């Protein structure tokens, strides 16, 4: 009997030890919550290698979650550094990375955009991200006088907004809220089983459109129900022009450019369709103007037929008329000029194709549409380029050129019917 008691007691100690090693995951904090005095174990470029939240109690603390692969985060670090210098000890902007200490330290020493900055950075973080949960970066947590006062993206970290927090003005910014468990397979519209029973069929074909869905990311996709023989296409938190682009891409690959200058809008309020920095923060514009759309159709329809039905839905539900038309506009025209020399000239040259060149320029979304008139189907060896001027120079070495001329191209035209 005594042996059994000893065994049970040992089991209890083992269970306690396991619980101590695997504490329950902390509840995510949000605006208005008090922040525990968390230990920040690893900080580089800082007066001490570690700190606690309470060490910043006399200043506005902004946790800036970032990593070395996030180009927008890196760009924002330069602005953060300027604001830190401007406000001095009134604020502390503390970048936070999950990445390895040596990797981040080397990045700060060698990257041309950040090597002259004075900002510190938390590294190898596991604690802060467990309390301030997020799916995308940049992610800014504003902590003042022991409480979370805002959770935003990096564009909100401005001189005026910092002053508003320090002066304890009423903050009414949208909370950057991302639901980790959001299920994109769930329909936007719930069909009551009684409706199916009344119609005598489990299959109901429908289309639905709703406003912005808080906490969900921008995502499109489709799912099949093999039992009901249906396909569900969905687009979550898309601006209107991008809704049409997704639908039309099922009919024809990349049917038009979504750059504002390449879209013809026939309506009163163009701000509904494209964000302009003059209209405030992009997140607020997106919450106001982005939509969610889904349609359930028979899976016997081809991809192109589904796309055609989706465009018709958008026209009907939004009281618009969207279509692709051939219109003349300024373009970058890729032509063959002189004797071709597509082979490698320098050790740094990398094999590419005309198709990839065209795609890479159009993805930038800041240049006129690219038209390929070379007829060249092989590979070209090119060095690195960051601007169109640099690309032109490289192309001329290979017997090609990039001209600025007008051409007739596929253009998206959107007309308001009301």
Q: Return the sign of the alpha-carbon dihedral for residues 169, 170, 172, 178.
A: positive
pLDDT at 3: 43
pLDDT at 194: 57
Q: Are residues 300 and 409 in the same domain?
A: no
Domain presence at residue 372: yes
pLDDT tens figures, 238-292: 999 999 999 999 998 878 888 888 899 998 788 999 998 888 899 999 999 999 9
Q: Are residues 39 and 153 in the same domain?
A: yes
Distance between CA atoms of residues 48 and 337, nearest Å: 61
User: Is 146 strand, coil or helix?
Assistant: coil
Domain presence at residue 386: yes
Model confidence at 231, in pLDDT bands (50, 70, 90)?
very high
Task: Please say which residue of 255, 287, 318 terminates a domain.
Answer: 318
Domain presence at residue 34: yes
Q: Are residues 161 and 214 in the same domain?
A: no
Task: Please say which residue of 318, 351, 378 terminates a domain.
Answer: 318
Q: Are residues 216 and 103 in the same domain?
A: no
pLDDT tens figures, 21-55: 434 557 789 999 999 999 999 999 998 899 999 99
Over residues 397-415, mean pLDDT: 92
Over residues 407-415, mean pLDDT: 92
pLDDT tens figures, 309-345: 999 999 999 999 999 999 998 999 999 988 888 887 7
- pLDDT > 80? residue 293: yes
Model confidence at 195, in pLDDT bands (50, 70, 90)?
low
Q: Are residues 311 and 401 in the same domain?
A: no
User: Is 336 strand, coil or helix?
Assistant: strand
Q: Are residues 344 and 295 in the same domain?
A: no
Print the domain residue range for 258: 193-318
**Domains held by the chain: number:** 3
- pLDDT > 90? residue 86: yes
Percent of the chain with pLDDT over 70: 91
Q: Are residues 256 and 341 in the same domain?
A: no
Q: Return the sign of the alpha-carbon dihedral for residues 380, 383, 387, 392.
A: negative
Q: What secondary structure does DSSP assign to 235-260, as a single string?
A: EEEE-HHHHHHHHHHTTSSS-S---G
Q: Are residues 54 and 153 in the same domain?
A: yes
């Amino acid at each position: 009997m005594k042996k059994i008691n000893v065994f049970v007691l040992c089991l209890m100690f083992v269970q306690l030890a396991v619980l101590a090693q695997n504490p329950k995951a902390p509840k995510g904090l949000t605006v208005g919550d008090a922040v525990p005095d968390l230990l920040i174990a690893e900080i580089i470029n800082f007066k001490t290698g570690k700190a606690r939240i309470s060490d910043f109690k006399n200043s506005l603390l902004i946790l800036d979650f970032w990593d070395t692969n996030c180009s927008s985060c890196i760009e924002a670090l330069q602005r953060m550094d300027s604001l830190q210098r401007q406000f001095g000890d009134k604020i502390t902007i503390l970048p936070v990375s999950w990445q390895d200490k040596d990797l981040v330290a080397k990045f700060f020493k060698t990257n041309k955009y950040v090597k002259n900055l004075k900002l510190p950075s938390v590294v190898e973080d596991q604690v802060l991200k467990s309390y301030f949960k997020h799916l995308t970066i940049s992610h800014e947590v504003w902590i003042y006088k022991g409480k979370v006062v805002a959770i935003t993206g990096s564009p909100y970290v401005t001189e005026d907004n910092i002053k508003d927090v320090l002066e304890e003005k009423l903050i009414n910014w949208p909370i950057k809220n991302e639901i980790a468990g959001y299920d994109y397979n769930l329909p936007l519209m719930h069909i009551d089983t009684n409706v199916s029973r009344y119609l005598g069929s489990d299959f109901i074909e429908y289309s639905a459109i709703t406003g912005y869905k808080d906490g969900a990311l921008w995502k499109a996709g489709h799912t099949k129900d093999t039992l009901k023989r249906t396909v569900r296409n969905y687009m979550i938190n898309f601006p209107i022009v991008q809704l049409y682009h997704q639908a039309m891409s099922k009919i024809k690959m990349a049917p038009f450019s979504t750059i504002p200058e390449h879209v013809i809008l026939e309506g009163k309020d163009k701000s509904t369709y494209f964000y302009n920095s003059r209209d405030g923060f992009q997140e607020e514009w997106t919450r106001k103007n982005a939509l969610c759309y889904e349609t359930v159709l028979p899976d016997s329809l081809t991809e192109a037929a589904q796309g055609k039905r989706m465009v018709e839905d958008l026209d009907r539900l939004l009281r618009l008329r969207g279509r692709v038309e051939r219109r003349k506009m300024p373009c970058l025209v890729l032509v063959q000029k002189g004797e071709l020399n597509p082979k490698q000239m320098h050790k740094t040259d990398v094999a590419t194709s005309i198709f990839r060149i065209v795609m890479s320029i159009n993805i930038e979304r800041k240049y006129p549409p690219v038209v390929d008139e070379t007829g060249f189907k092989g590979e070209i060896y090119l060095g690195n380029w960051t601007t169109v001027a640099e690309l032109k120079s490289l192309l001329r070495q290979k017997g090609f050129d990039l001209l600025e001329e007008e051409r007739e191209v596929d253009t998206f035209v959107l007309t308001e019917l009301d």
